[in-house]
Amino acid sequence: MTTINRQRLMNHFFELVKIDSESRNEKRIGEALAEQLGELGFDVHKLPVPEAISNGFNIYARLEGERPDSVVFSCHMDTVTPGIGIEPVIEDGIIRSKGNTILGGDDKSGIAAIIEAVRAIQEQNLNHKTIEIAFTVHEEGGLFGSQHFDMSYIQSDKAIVLDSGGPIGTIINAAPGQQKIVANYIGRPAHAGLAPEEGISAIQVAADAISQMKLLRIDEETTANIGIVQGGNATNIVMPELKVVAEARSLNDDKLSMQVKHMVETFQAAVIKHGAEVNIDSSRAYNAFVIADDHPHIETIKASFEAIGATPFTKGTGGGSDANNFNAKGLTTVNISTGMAKVHTTEEFIAIDDMVKITQFVEHYLTH
């Protein structure tokens, strides 16, 4: 029988989403959470990050347990835009924003679940595993907080990130790596009406390259996309410069490297053909991870989901999360659903029942 305080969970979630914390502006929510964790008896550390990433800090917190095991629970503190002045409303057991902002369940539903589970455990004086907390800044748009997380504090060998959607019981055990490719084409300007043959059209060169490129769904593990094309000032000028921003993703790092190589070489081949120039910046945003379905960490998580009446299942995803960076740093990490839906839109919502259920999961996992 659970002792999750449904009203307290809701009140805390509402309190969190009302704290403005768009990416790079996490100082206020960081201070609030550091204080709340301290009040619960955690040993709290505010871990500095580069100023370009955030005006705040990552949080590491630790609460010693009586049970022999330990785990890291992780969420990110930032939200996407528009995330200022969020007003949550409840309709028929569903929490939404008033409609002019996102809700911020991504990822404050996870934070609220962890803290309510700890409060419930302490009220009952239950023995629990040692709890480590890793709350990150600026996850949205680049996983920057986890990239800069000081792993020297982490003592457990496994982690659970609460930052996914889908039914309660969803366990993300595979996610792709991502490479960002920026190609800056340099042609030669000329008057498009008087002497077009004297020019080299940067967009024509880029178009030639893109038309030769394998894009979108490459195979079941790999995707690639041209997302941004910027250039040009007037129709009467042969376009002298063009910026093309692309990405590639794959669950398989070798396949990702091959796709990136193909894209870069295709960008370069068009330059040779047309007598233009290109400067290419190719950088790995994060690496892929795949954890076996029968890994002991996943088996334990499945057992707790089953105990609270949820049906656990593993699946891969096409997107990255802090779990990518923690796995890359040697910490076996899965990402689980809090029930959030339509994230990154003003239609974002989450069911109260799902929030209670994921909190029950955290409580059960920590006490068994």
Q: What is the pLDDT of residues 252-306, one digit of tens each?
A: 999 999 999 999 999 999 999 999 999 999 999 999 999 999 999 999 999 999 9
In the chain, what percentage of residues exceed pLDDT 70?
Answer: 99
Q: Which long-range contacts does 88-91 make (Cβ < 8 Å, 24+ apart)?
A: 88/13, 88/14, 88/17, 88/18, 90/10, 90/352
Q: Residues 50, 197: one domain?
A: no
Q: What mean pLDDT value characterizes the chain?
A: 97
Domain total for the chain?
A: 2
CA 145, distance to chain mean position in Å, is 10
Domain that holds residue 207: 177-286
pLDDT of 54 reads 98
Q: Residues 165, 247: one domain?
A: no
Instruction: Give the 3-state secondary structure of residue 295.
Output: coil
Q: Residues 232, 166: one domain?
A: no
- The Cβ of residue 346 has, within 10 Å, a number of other Cβ atoms equal to 14
Render 238-249 in DSSP notation, one character per residue: ---EEEEEEEEE
Task: Indicate whether 1 belongs to any domain.
Answer: no
pLDDT band, residue 3 (cuts 50/70/90): confident
Q: What is the CATH number of the domain that holds 272?
A: 3.30.70.360
Q: Residues 124, 218: one domain?
A: no
Q: Residues 16, 160: one domain?
A: yes
Read off φ and ψ for residue 332, nearest 5 degrees. -65, 115
Q: Residues 17, 163: one domain?
A: yes
Residues in contact with 55: Cβ distance below 8 Å, sequence separation at least 6, in sequence order: 24, 25, 26, 27
Q: Is the pLDDT of residue 56 over 80?
A: yes
Question: Helix and strand tally (H, E) in the chain?
Answer: 9, 17
What length does the chain have?
A: 368
Q: Is the pLDDT of residue 34 over 70?
A: yes
- The Cβ of residue 91 has, within 10 Å, a number of other Cβ atoms equal to 8
Q: Residues 152, 183: one domain?
A: no
Residue 137 backbone class (left: φ over 0; alpha: ψ -120 to 50; beta: rest): beta
CA–CA separation, 278 and 252 (whole Å): 28
- The residue-averaged pLDDT of 37-54 equals 98
Q: What is the CATH number of the domain that holds 317?
A: 3.40.630.10
- The residue-averaged pLDDT of 118-146 equals 97
- The residue-averaged pLDDT of 167-177 equals 98
In the chain, what percentage of residues exceed pLDDT 90?
Answer: 99
Report the catalytic residues.
Answer: 78, 139
Cross-sheet strand order for the sheet of 277-286: 216-219, 222-231, 241-250, 177-186, 277-286
pLDDT tens digits, one per residue of 239-267:
999 999 999 999 999 999 999 999 999 99
pLDDT band, residue 100 (cuts 50/70/90): very high
- Strands, DSSP E only, in 39-83? 43-47, 58-63, 70-76
Q: Final residue of a domain: which of 286, 301, 336?
A: 286
Q: Is the pLDDT of residue 1 over 60?
A: no
Q: Residues 257, 269: one domain?
A: yes
Name the β-bridge partners of 130: 70
Q: Residues 275, 324: one domain?
A: no
Q: Residues 171, 303: one domain?
A: yes
pLDDT tens digits, one per residue of 186-233:
999 999 999 999 999 999 999 999 999 999 999 999 999 999 999 999
Q: Which strand (E) or helix (H) includes residue 226?
A: strand 222-231
Task: Indicate whether 298 belongs to any domain.
Answer: yes
Q: Residues 282, 344: one domain?
A: no
Q: Do 138 and 214 meet the contact criterion of CB atoms below 8 Å apart? A: no
pLDDT of 2 reads 63
